[in-house]
Amino acid sequence: MRRLLIAGNWKMHKGAAETAEFIEAVLATRPSTAVDVIVSPPFTSLPAAAMLLTASNIGLAAQNVHWEGSGAFTGEVSAPMLVDLGVRWVIVGHSERRTLFAETDDTAFERARAAQGAGLEVIFCVGETLEQRDAGDTFAVLERQVGGLGALDAAHLVVAYEPVWAIGTGRTATPQQAQEAHAFLRLRMSELCGAEAAGRLRILYGGSLKPANAAELLALADVDGGLIGGASLDVSSFSAIIHAAADCAAGDTP
């Protein structure tokens, strides 16, 4: 049985002091050990987060990583540097990296490859735009985006499905839409890395998941958690989602 994973992506929010305050507040809620929890602060807040999370059951992720271990890449951060900080996870290929910063399928894969090579766990993001969905191209886009993942270690990989049209818009994929996309991704990953590995692979939903819809989405057969954006910035909403995941893991579903 796949353990549910709740990952908070803070994007460009929370400096070091805010990060410490938030983490202390979440730890005080005693988040359930029945689900895996990760927070992903900005680069400058990673040291403060690492110090507080060392002895906790909450993991720490970076929001991006370069594909080279070192070199003349001004402004970039390498996987070995993240490992030195105590980071154990990294988000790769987020839609905002793709749409705003020219990330491609190839560069996202290279980042994932480098991260795994340094011992990091990878959350690899995929998802279609509204135009692509309306054109009936959702599955073709997803197939292309995961095409290189068969060369990675599936045991240290998580895939996050984030319909771009549902990120920060307040719109959410219906349970049927989410399940269809997740089931397709699991089938495609089965073709790439084998049925056994695909059966163990966790696929997160990443489109405006919040306390109001968490239980319904997390109960879907192929949804193994969430990559949370805005709702992860508030202690009460993030904790509520973790609680919903714990209820789901215990079989208490709607």
Based on DSSP, count helices (H) and strands (E) in the chain, helices before strands. 11, 8
162 in active site? yes
110 in active site? no
| CB-based burial label for 75 (10 Å; 0-12, 13-18, 19+) | exposed
C-alpha distances in angstroms, 193 versus 26, 67, 174, 200? 36, 22, 28, 11
The DSSP bridge partners found for residue 7 are 38, 227
Residue of 96, 121, 162, 216 marked active site: 162
Q: What is the CA radius of gyration of the chain?
A: 17
Residue of 66, 94, 182, 243 marked active site: 94
CA atoms within 13 A on the CB side of 149: 34
Active site residues: 94, 162
